[in-house]
A = this chain, B = another copy of it.
Amino acid sequence: MNSIVRQREPFRWDGVPLLAYKADPAEARFEGVTRQVLFGDALELGVELRYFEVAAGGHTTLEQHEHVHAVMIVRGVGRCLVGDKVHEVAPHDLVSVPPHTWHQFRASDHEPLGFLCLVRCDRDRPRRPDAGDLERLRADPAIAAFIRA
Protein backbone atom coordinates (compact mmCIF):
# COMPACT_ATOMS: atom_id res chain seq x y z
CA MET A 1 0.00 0.00 0.00
CA ASN A 2 1.40 3.40 -1.00
CA SER A 3 1.03 6.00 1.73
CA ILE A 4 0.47 8.73 -0.84
CA VAL A 5 -1.53 8.60 -4.06
CA ARG A 6 -1.27 11.88 -5.92
CA GLN A 7 -3.88 13.57 -8.04
CA ARG A 8 -1.96 13.97 -11.29
CA GLU A 9 -4.61 15.87 -13.25
CA PRO A 10 -7.99 17.11 -12.01
CA PHE A 11 -9.89 14.15 -10.51
CA ARG A 12 -7.48 11.50 -11.87
CA TRP A 13 -5.06 9.78 -9.51
CA ASP A 14 -1.75 7.96 -10.00
CA GLY A 15 -2.40 4.27 -10.51
CA VAL A 16 -6.16 4.51 -9.92
CA PRO A 17 -7.93 2.97 -12.92
CA LEU A 18 -10.81 4.76 -14.59
CA LEU A 19 -13.63 2.21 -14.52
CA ALA A 20 -16.99 1.86 -16.14
CA TYR A 21 -19.73 2.97 -13.76
CA LYS A 22 -21.57 -0.34 -14.06
CA ALA A 23 -20.25 -3.69 -15.23
CA ASP A 24 -23.22 -4.18 -17.55
CA PRO A 25 -24.10 -0.91 -19.31
CA ALA A 26 -26.80 -2.61 -21.37
CA GLU A 27 -28.70 -3.56 -18.26
CA ALA A 28 -28.50 -0.32 -16.29
CA ARG A 29 -29.75 3.01 -17.61
CA PHE A 30 -27.07 5.63 -17.24
CA GLU A 31 -25.13 8.06 -19.39
CA GLY A 32 -21.55 9.30 -19.25
CA VAL A 33 -20.52 8.03 -15.82
CA THR A 34 -17.06 6.86 -14.69
CA ARG A 35 -15.91 5.34 -11.39
CA GLN A 36 -12.58 5.36 -9.55
CA VAL A 37 -11.98 3.52 -6.28
CA LEU A 38 -9.92 5.86 -4.08
CA PHE A 39 -9.85 3.74 -0.94
CA GLY A 40 -10.79 0.08 -1.16
CA ASP A 41 -10.57 -3.14 0.82
CA ALA A 42 -6.85 -2.87 1.55
CA LEU A 43 -7.38 -0.54 4.51
CA GLU A 44 -9.87 -2.95 6.12
CA LEU A 45 -12.24 -0.14 7.05
CA GLY A 46 -15.22 -2.17 5.84
CA VAL A 47 -16.06 0.62 3.38
CA GLU A 48 -14.97 1.86 -0.02
CA LEU A 49 -14.60 5.49 -1.03
CA ARG A 50 -15.26 5.94 -4.73
CA TYR A 51 -15.18 8.99 -7.01
CA PHE A 52 -17.92 9.11 -9.64
CA GLU A 53 -18.04 11.58 -12.46
CA VAL A 54 -21.13 12.22 -14.53
CA ALA A 55 -20.45 13.97 -17.86
CA ALA A 56 -22.35 17.18 -18.73
CA GLY A 57 -25.91 16.17 -19.54
CA GLY A 58 -25.41 12.68 -18.09
CA HIS A 59 -27.02 10.80 -15.22
CA THR A 60 -26.53 7.83 -12.91
CA THR A 61 -28.94 4.90 -12.76
CA LEU A 62 -32.26 5.39 -10.99
CA GLU A 63 -32.13 2.72 -8.29
CA GLN A 64 -32.52 1.74 -4.66
CA HIS A 65 -30.96 -0.84 -2.32
CA GLU A 66 -30.63 -1.75 1.34
CA HIS A 67 -27.13 -0.25 1.71
CA VAL A 68 -26.69 3.46 2.30
CA HIS A 69 -24.66 6.05 0.40
CA ALA A 70 -22.76 8.92 2.00
CA VAL A 71 -21.99 11.38 -0.78
CA MET A 72 -19.96 14.59 -0.99
CA ILE A 73 -20.13 16.66 -4.17
CA VAL A 74 -16.63 17.75 -5.20
CA ARG A 75 -16.95 18.98 -8.81
CA GLY A 76 -19.56 20.93 -10.75
CA VAL A 77 -23.20 21.38 -10.03
CA GLY A 78 -26.23 19.23 -10.70
CA ARG A 79 -29.35 17.80 -9.19
CA CYS A 80 -30.25 14.63 -7.37
CA LEU A 81 -33.37 12.75 -6.47
CA VAL A 82 -33.39 11.26 -2.97
CA GLY A 83 -36.67 9.62 -2.05
CA ASP A 84 -39.43 12.00 -3.10
CA LYS A 85 -37.39 15.21 -3.47
CA VAL A 86 -35.17 16.68 -6.17
CA HIS A 87 -32.31 18.79 -4.78
CA GLU A 88 -29.84 21.18 -6.39
CA VAL A 89 -26.29 20.22 -5.39
CA ALA A 90 -22.98 22.08 -5.51
CA PRO A 91 -19.44 21.52 -4.24
CA HIS A 92 -19.06 20.20 -0.79
CA ASP A 93 -22.78 19.58 -0.27
CA LEU A 94 -23.39 16.30 1.57
CA VAL A 95 -26.05 13.81 0.47
CA SER A 96 -27.24 10.87 2.57
CA VAL A 97 -29.17 8.14 0.78
CA PRO A 98 -30.98 5.98 3.39
CA PRO A 99 -31.83 2.31 2.82
CA HIS A 100 -34.45 1.46 0.17
CA THR A 101 -34.65 5.00 -1.19
CA TRP A 102 -34.89 5.86 -4.88
CA HIS A 103 -31.99 8.02 -5.98
CA GLN A 104 -30.45 9.41 -9.15
CA PHE A 105 -27.81 12.07 -9.89
CA ARG A 106 -27.82 14.30 -12.96
CA ALA A 107 -25.06 16.66 -14.10
CA SER A 108 -25.94 20.09 -15.49
CA ASP A 109 -25.83 20.48 -19.27
CA HIS A 110 -22.57 22.42 -19.30
CA GLU A 111 -20.14 20.74 -16.90
CA PRO A 112 -19.43 17.38 -15.27
CA LEU A 113 -20.71 16.52 -11.81
CA GLY A 114 -18.18 14.73 -9.61
CA PHE A 115 -18.82 13.24 -6.20
CA LEU A 116 -17.29 11.02 -3.54
CA CYS A 117 -19.49 8.09 -2.49
CA LEU A 118 -18.90 6.00 0.60
CA VAL A 119 -20.43 2.49 0.79
CA ARG A 120 -19.96 -0.68 2.79
CA CYS A 121 -17.78 -3.28 1.04
CA ASP A 122 -20.40 -5.88 1.85
CA ARG A 123 -23.54 -4.58 0.16
CA ASP A 124 -26.62 -5.73 -1.69
CA ARG A 125 -27.23 -5.29 -5.40
CA PRO A 126 -29.27 -2.28 -6.57
CA ARG A 127 -32.87 -2.70 -7.68
CA ARG A 128 -34.18 -0.74 -10.66
CA PRO A 129 -37.77 0.50 -10.84
CA ASP A 130 -40.42 -1.67 -12.47
CA ALA A 131 -43.44 -0.26 -14.29
CA GLY A 132 -45.39 0.15 -11.04
CA ASP A 133 -42.52 1.96 -9.31
CA LEU A 134 -42.17 4.31 -12.27
CA GLU A 135 -45.89 5.07 -12.23
CA ARG A 136 -45.74 5.92 -8.53
CA LEU A 137 -42.61 8.06 -9.00
CA ARG A 138 -44.12 9.89 -11.98
CA ALA A 139 -47.24 10.79 -10.04
CA ASP A 140 -45.15 13.74 -8.80
CA PRO A 141 -44.60 16.14 -11.74
CA ALA A 142 -41.22 17.32 -10.39
CA ILE A 143 -39.99 13.75 -10.20
CA ALA A 144 -41.53 12.85 -13.55
CA ALA A 145 -39.61 15.72 -15.16
CA PHE A 146 -36.36 14.80 -13.44
CA ILE A 147 -35.91 11.05 -13.70
CA ARG A 148 -34.24 9.21 -16.56
CA ALA A 149 -35.24 5.54 -16.60
Is A38 a contact partner of B5 (Cβ separation < 8 A)?
no
Instruction: Say whether A28 faces chain B, with CB atoms less than 8 Å apart.
Output: no
Q: Which residues does chain B contribute within 8 Å of A1, judged by CB atoms?
A: 96, 98
CA A1 – CA B98 in complex, angstroms?
Answer: 9
CA A90 – CA B3 in complex, angstroms?
Answer: 14
CA A2 – CA B83 in complex, angstroms?
Answer: 11
Q: Which residues does chain B contribute within 8 Å of A47, judged by CB atoms?
A: 45-47, 118
- A sample of 14 inter-chain contacts (CB < 8 A) reads A1-B98, A3-B87, A4-B82, A4-B89, A4-B94, A5-B94, A7-B91, A39-B96, A42-B96, A43-B96, A45-B68, A45-B70, A47-B47, A49-B70
A residues engaging B (CB < 8 A)? Answer: 1-7, 10-11, 13, 38-39, 42-47, 49, 68, 70, 72, 74, 82-83, 85, 87, 89-98, 116, 118-120
